């Protein structure tokens, strides 16, 4: 399983929660290939019947970097977006989006393609440009079951420049005791991670998206 190493840095949250910061722009980034979600996994007979899998997943690649400061974890993403879609302006307009997915239990038994199952749920952090830098936290027990949680500690900072989205997503490593349903992260630990990206101008929303087909291992350095 490919590893993504999250190094520890001595920087403040305000320095890191900045998608335009030189720290992110100049630092090394990992490339993650993304591909169309399979139509066979669509719970909607309509989508299965009329959508064309070859046209799903307009974004083919994400670039990412991740660090933590022992309190918060930060993920920085970049991806090409020639036609950014920032908000639901009309009924036929869909905003862009980005998602991080974590298995909440045994990674071997958690299907990334199905966003988990009843026994092995997943936790997603879902960013959209119209969420006012407050990404949603959601729990999924399999396809078509994801629900936003009331409480979320996920925050973001995003910018679009040079036909590219740059997004930083952050959350405290520890959330225990706060009544939030989400994965716990810790320095010195590791967890599975996956990614999804929606190109609004291609009509992508819900299960119509590009995603990383396999789990990767996020190693959070001590």
Partner 1 sequence: MAGEEKKLTDREKELAASFQAAKDNLRKCEKQVGMVMDLNKCIGCQLCSMACKTLWTNVEGREYMWWNKVNTMPGKGSPKDWEKMGGGYKVKFGGKVMEPILGKHPTRKEFGDMWKYNWNEVISNKAGEVHLQAKNPDGSNPDWAMNWDEDQGAGKYPNAFYFYLPRICNHCAYPACLDACPRNAIYKRENDGAVLIDQDRCKGYRFCLEACPYKVIYFNFVTDKSNKCIFCYPRLEQKVPNACARQCTARVRWVGYVEDPKSIIYKLVKVWKVALPLHAEYGTNPNVFYIPPLAPPRLDAEGKLDTTKPRIPREYLRFLFGPEVDAALGVMNTELEKVKSGGKSELMDILIARQWTHMFGPFDKDPATLERKPAQPGSFSRNDLTALNNEKNR
CA distance readout (Å), 130 to 33, 110, 161, 195: 25, 30, 17, 19
Helices (H), the chain: 13-16, 22-26, 45-50
Give the dihedral sign, CA 57/58/61/65.
Answer: negative
| CB-based contact 175:185 (threshold 8 Å) | no
CB of 2 to partner 1, least distance (A): 23
CB of 129 to partner 1, least distance (A): 13
Closer to partner 1 by Cβ: residue 19 or 122 = 122
CB of 40 to partner 1, least distance (A): 4
End-to-end CA, the chain: 20
CB of 92 to partner 1, least distance (A): 4
Closer to partner 1 by Cβ: residue 15 or 119 = 119
With CA atoms as reference, report the closest residue to 25 among 156, 173, 220, 164.
164
With CA atoms as reference, report the closest residue to 203 among 99, 91, 127, 128.
91
Closer to partner 1 by Cβ: residue 70 or 111 = 111
Closer to partner 1 by Cβ: residue 35 or 88 = 88
CB atoms within 10 A of CB 72: 19
CB of 46 to partner 1, least distance (A): 4
**Enclosing H/E stretch for 47:** helix 45-50
Residues that bind partner 1 (CB under 8 A): 38-47, 49-53, 88, 90-92, 94, 109, 111, 114, 117-119, 141-145, 147, 205-207
Closer to partner 1 by Cβ: residue 78 or 204 = 204
For 177, the 3-state DSSP assignment is: coil
CB of 19 to partner 1, least distance (A): 24
Closer to partner 1 by Cβ: residue 134 or 147 = 147
Look-up of token digits 């959350």 = 171
For 6, the 3-state DSSP assignment is: strand
């Amino acid at each position: 399983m490919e590893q993504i190493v999250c190094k520890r840095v001595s920087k403040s949250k305000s320095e890191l929660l900045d998608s335009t910061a030189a720290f992110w722009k100049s630092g090394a980034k990992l490339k993650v290939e993304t591909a169309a979600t399979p139509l066979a996994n669509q719970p909607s007979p309509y989508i299965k019947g009329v959508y064309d899998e070859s046209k799903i997943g307009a974004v083919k690649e994400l670039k990412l970097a991740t660090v933590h400061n022992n309190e918060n974890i930060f993920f920085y993403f970049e991806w090409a977006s020639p036609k950014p879609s920032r908000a639901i302006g009309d009924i036929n307009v869909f905003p862009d989006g980005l998602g991080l997915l974590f298995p909440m239990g045994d990674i071997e038994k958690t299907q990334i393609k199905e966003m988990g199952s009843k026994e092995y749920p997943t936790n997603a952090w879902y960013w959209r440009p119209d969420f006012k830098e407050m990404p949603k936290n959601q729990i999924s027990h399999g396809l078509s079951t994801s629900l936003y949680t009331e409480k979320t500690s996920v925050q973001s900072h995003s910018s679009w420049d040079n036909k590219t989205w740059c997004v930083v997503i952050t959350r405290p490593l520890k959330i225990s005791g706060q009544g939030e349903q989400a994965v716990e992260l810790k320095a010195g630990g590791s967890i599975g991670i996956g990614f999804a990206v929606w190109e609004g101008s291609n009509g992508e929303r819900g299960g119509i998206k590009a995603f990383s087909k396999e789990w990767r291992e996020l190693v959070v350095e001590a």
